[in-house]
Structure 1
Amino acid sequence: MLKNQSEFMKSTIIALSLFFLSMTSAMCQSSTEEQKIIQLSKDKWQWMADKNVDKLEPLFDDKAKFVHMSGTWKKAEELEIIKTGSIWYKEAKVHDTAVEISGKTAIVWNRITLVAMVRGNEAITEFTVTEVYQKQGKNWKMLALTFSSVRDTHQIKK
């Protein structure tokens, strides 16, 4: 009987160890994916500031939608706006970021102060920007980007 208890304890310890190891691995993978998405979002802001449509074009899904204070448009229009500078995203100062990943979908919320040139006038505006990404193959593609005007005291719930 003692031998059976000893074997049972060994099996239980091994099973629990494997369980915790797999949970730790899954959490690390999630954290790694979250970090990749956060970096991709940061890169996107820089590419927008640099008017680098060559980097943005493959990031934006062909069916992506962009919601701004003055309207909603699709990928081609957003790229044209960035390229021509009719809206120049000079600088996005990111104050807070939250990410949630569910399957192949990632949602990023950034609380930002946007410094932009809009039709020749500088505008400094507080926004919470919602970005929706989808994993397509090995790459993340942006499906939606929405600017929501908020007060500078707004906090993103994590």
Structure 2
Amino acid sequence: MKQLLFGLLIMLSSQWLLAQNATDQEIINLSKEKWQWMADKNTDKLNSLFHEKSMFVHMGGSWGKKREMDVIKSGGIWYKKADIHEVTVNIIENTAILLNRIDLLAVVGGNEVTNPFMVTEVYVKENGSWKLGSLSFSKLLVRSNNNNNEKK
């Protein structure tokens, strides 16, 4: 009887872990798609992803969804390519917090720049789908690269 209960406990724990890993992977994939949509200036996809009350924090200020969409449409910031080096996801009920350590190649005010960032993305699940609630860039002092964390 003890073996049966122990086996059942292991099976239930394994199923919970698989579900958790599947949710983590869903958020990671959604984040990757978001970076591509930003690079492509695909405002239709971004408009459905960004929550109506979403907030964006950049080096030059913070603003809501409408302004972020305007910035992307106008090319005020063109998120050309995000090289993702590390990803961490934490799920808290219907909220997912994703951290990306990236090197972002962007065009800002007509100038092409690359900056190392830790990006915090907060997603909320509403009516069965994930919406981006917050996107925040923190510039890192050390430039990341694919091999190590040495300064360039």
Normalization by structure 2: what TM-score?
0.92
Q: Give the 3-state SS of the residue equivalent to 2:83 in structure 1.
A: strand
Q: 2:50 aligns with which of 60, 70, 85?
A: 60
Q: Any gaps of 5 or more consecutive residues in structure 2? A: none
Q: Which structure is larger by alpha-carbon Rg, 1 or 2?
A: 1
Name the structure 1 match of 2:119. 129
Q: Aligned pair count?
A: 145
* Equivalent-residue separation in structure 1 for 2:127 and 2:84 (angstroms): 28
Q: Does 1:99 find its partner at 2:98?
A: no
Q: Give the 3-state SS of the residue equivalent to 1:65 in structure 2.
A: strand
Name the structure 1 match of 2:66. 76
Normalization by structure 1: what TM-score?
0.89
* Equivalent-residue separation in structure 2 for 1:137 and 1:22 (angstroms): 26
Q: Does 1:31 find its partner at 2:21?
A: yes
Compare the two structures and name the one with the higher helix fraction.
1
Q: State whether residues 115 and 143 of structure 2, in contact with CA within 8 Å, keep that contact through their aligned partners in structure 1.
A: no
Q: Give the 3-state SS of the residue equivalent to 2:81 in structure 1.
A: strand
Cα root mean square deviation, aligned? 1.3
Q: 1:88 aligns with which of 78, 92, 100?
A: 78
Q: Give the 3-state SS of the residue equivalent to 1:79 in structure 2.
A: helix
Q: Any gaps of 5 or more consecutive residues in structure 1? A: 1-10
Q: 2:134 aligns with which of 137, 140, 144?
A: 144
Q: Deviations along 1:97-155, whole A, 9 cap, x unmatched?
A: 11111111110000011110101111110000000011112111111000000022598
